[in-house]
Structure 1
Amino acid sequence: MTPEVLSPSDLSYDAALAALEWLCELGADEAQGDLAMDCYALPDRLAKPDLPAPVPAGAAATAGMLAASQATALPQRQAPPKVDQVGLARQAAGQARTLADLHEALDGFETCDLRKGARCTVRAEGPEAARVMIIGDAPDREEDRAGRPFIGRSGHMLDRMFAAIGLRRDTPDRAAALFLAPVLPWRPPGQREPEASEIAMMRPFLARMVELVDPDVVVLMGNAACSAGLARRGITRLRGEWSEAFGKPAIAMFSPVQLLRSAEAKRDSWADLLALRAKLDSLG
């Protein structure tokens, strides 16, 4: 039996409205045309327009960024010019005529980044005409807080060591006086070892300090001091040997910190102290 097909003209207004509401409830809410369409009779594959070949997401992003950069044409940032840090230090130190001038030059030396993280500038101290100048390692936490070299336990150890051969830091007598200086005036962050570039940058200040103090002997205590004075490291091999640093007779010794850690090193340090005393006596 063929189903009856009604045309829109055969439906009353109310019937047509009821039919439309029924179709909307079924989800058929989009008009297709005057004639009915059998969606099941559509071909499996419809003709598709020609599309460009797909571009990988990464390549598309890169191409987009390149196009954007070319379109904006922003000027490229130029690398900052390199600063001759050693040359600046040599110039600043060379202009100092006294130790006070040298300390002032250090205070105004902004090139070294170590000063940004340090609490204080650790100044050298002692009589300006001392016979013995001691150059120690970079400042530790206590020295950074006080702004003085060789204090705390290591300072007490140093005082006892040199008092045994008649030398002190707190005497105006040149024959018995010690002048103490750190290899760097600022503490490296985290108490790390000073870098070679940092030692090289501050070496002109040390060299000028030796010229102004004019000691008879320089004592290099620790690896950092040996790097600055001898351009060598390995304190265990270097200790006890006489050489020349900053134009002066120099001897390398263990630092007080190392002596506090190793009792065995005290015997070697005593031999080095006796060698230092003999050297001073031979120089008159």
Structure 2
Amino acid sequence: MQNSQDNLKDIESLLEFYRGAGVDCFLGDEPVDWVEASARQAAQRHQTPPATAPGNAGAPAQAAMVGETRSPSAPRQLAAAPSRQPAPAQTAVMPDHETIASARDLAASARTLADLKACLETFEGCNLKPTAKTLVFGDGNPGARLMFVGEAPGREEDLQGKPFVGRSGQLLDRMLSAIGLDRKDAYIANVVPWRPPGNRTPTPQETEICKPFIKRQIELVNPDVLVFLGAASAKNLLGVQDGIRKMRGRWMSYALQDREIAAIATYHPAYLLRSPLEKRLSWRDFLSIRARLADH
């Protein structure tokens, strides 16, 4: 029974990946040239209908009834071929040094969070943007002393345009409530602001191209305490290599140009949903976060 459920989850994940990548229908095993098929159909419509079949007066020949000669590899109903041409696929962007430098300059030009969001909305250097539905920029109080940073948005976040609004976000809300806080007391963002297709892990190249924007976002929020949800965001922004088990609960520093921000990593809420026994360790981390906020 468990294997059946696992197989079903695997199939659902695969279909979700296809949908995120833009695949919305299956045509068949053989490729079909719709342009050639439409031209052939148009030519057949302008041909003179064949004469009545001999020996069957008044009854049109089968070809005249069908109005076309169907090849084995052609679709069943050529009349149903889509009239619009598919949009040209966006050329993949390789995040070379020039592209990363461009992202860095664009992020540095933002003077407010609204400016930074506008920069991301016009930025075309990340290959995740065309497959995502929305830009997931940030949520909560931009003037808060506490900031959370995750790795990348998921399906619900992509639909609503806000970080941590799915099951993981609901758990994060309960964890905040347990220490007497809520979203009005924190600001939440992700390293990567676009959802990867099928909720896959962002590639190092995708993360690198988005890093200047999250760094500028942290500078503009300028919190007193920075919390990394999961190892991925901490590794990308702190440059540490330890796993989350070694890293969590240990206070570190995140350097700005003019000061150091107290930083800590804890388990990602999505991991806690899969491993509820680890919530006791996250509870310790959140108590430490509350104490650090009280000291400032």
Give the TM-score taking structure 2 as reference length.
Answer: 0.64
The answer for the alignment partner of 2:125 in structure 1 is 111
* Aligned with residue 199 of structure 1, among 183, 207, 217: 207
- Cα gap change, 1:246/1:136 in structure 2, threshold over 3 Å: closer, same or farther? farther
The answer for the alignment partner of 1:10 in structure 2 is none
The answer for the alignment partner of 1:131 in structure 2 is 145
The answer for the alignment partner of 2:189 in structure 1 is 181
Unaligned runs of 5+ in 2: 1-93
**Displacement of 1:245:** 2.3
Given that residues 127 and 206 in structure 2 are in contact (C-alpha distance below 8 angstroms), is that contact kept between their aligned partners in structure 1? no
- Cα gap change, 1:110/1:264 in structure 2, threshold over 3 Å: closer, same or farther? same
- Cα gap change, 1:202/1:246 in structure 2, threshold over 3 Å: closer, same or farther? farther
Alignment of 1:233-252 (within 5 A): 233=241, 234-247=243-256, 248-252=261-265
* Equivalent-residue separation in structure 2 for 1:119 and 1:180 (angstroms): 19
Alignment of 1:141-220 (within 5 A): 141-169=155-183, 171=184, 177-220=185-228
Aligned length: 198
After superposing on structure 2, the runs of 4+ consecutive aligned residues of structure 1 that deviate more than 3 Å are 80-83
* Equivalent-residue separation in structure 2 for 1:113 and 1:209 (angstroms): 21
The answer for the alignment partner of 1:278 in structure 2 is 291
Given that residues 222 and 254 in structure 1 are in contact (C-alpha distance below 8 angstroms), is that contact kept between their aligned partners in structure 2? yes
Given that residues 125 and 180 in structure 1 are in contact (C-alpha distance below 8 angstroms), is that contact kept between their aligned partners in structure 2? yes
* Equivalent-residue separation in structure 1 for 2:108 and 2:193 (angstroms): 17
* Equivalent-residue separation in structure 1 for 2:103 and 2:121 (angstroms): 12
Given that residues 125 and 209 in structure 2 are in contact (C-alpha distance below 8 angstroms), is that contact kept between their aligned partners in structure 1? no
**Displacement of 1:94:** 0.5
The answer for the alignment partner of 1:39 in structure 2 is none
The AA in structure 2 aligned to 1:254 is Y
Given that residues 138 and 224 in structure 1 are in contact (C-alpha distance below 8 angstroms), is that contact kept between their aligned partners in structure 2? no
SS in 2 for 1:258: helix
**Displacement of 1:82:** 5.1
Percent identity reads 46
Given that residues 135 and 220 in structure 1 are in contact (C-alpha distance below 8 angstroms), is that contact kept between their aligned partners in structure 2? yes
Cα offsets for 1:229-267 (capped at 9, x unmatched)? 212352122111111124311000101101111111100
**Displacement of 1:227:** 2.3
- Cα gap change, 1:130/1:82 in structure 2, threshold over 3 Å: closer, same or farther? closer
The AA in structure 1 aligned to 2:135 is T
The answer for the alignment partner of 2:44 in structure 1 is none
**Displacement of 1:137:** 2.1
Given that residues 98 and 212 in structure 1 are in contact (C-alpha distance below 8 angstroms), is that contact kept between their aligned partners in structure 2? yes
**CA RMSD for the aligned pairs?**
1.7
Given that residues 95 and 205 in structure 2 are in contact (C-alpha distance below 8 angstroms), is that contact kept between their aligned partners in structure 1? no
Residue 257 in 1 paired to residue 270 in 2?
Answer: yes
Give the TM-score taking structure 1 as reference length.
Answer: 0.67
* Equivalent-residue separation in structure 1 for 2:248 and 2:268 (angstroms): 10
* Equivalent-residue separation in structure 2 for 1:110 and 1:117 (angstroms): 12
Higher Rg? 1
Residue 101 in 1 paired to residue 115 in 2?
Answer: yes
**Displacement of 1:83:** 5.6
Unaligned runs of 5+ in 1: 1-79, 172-176
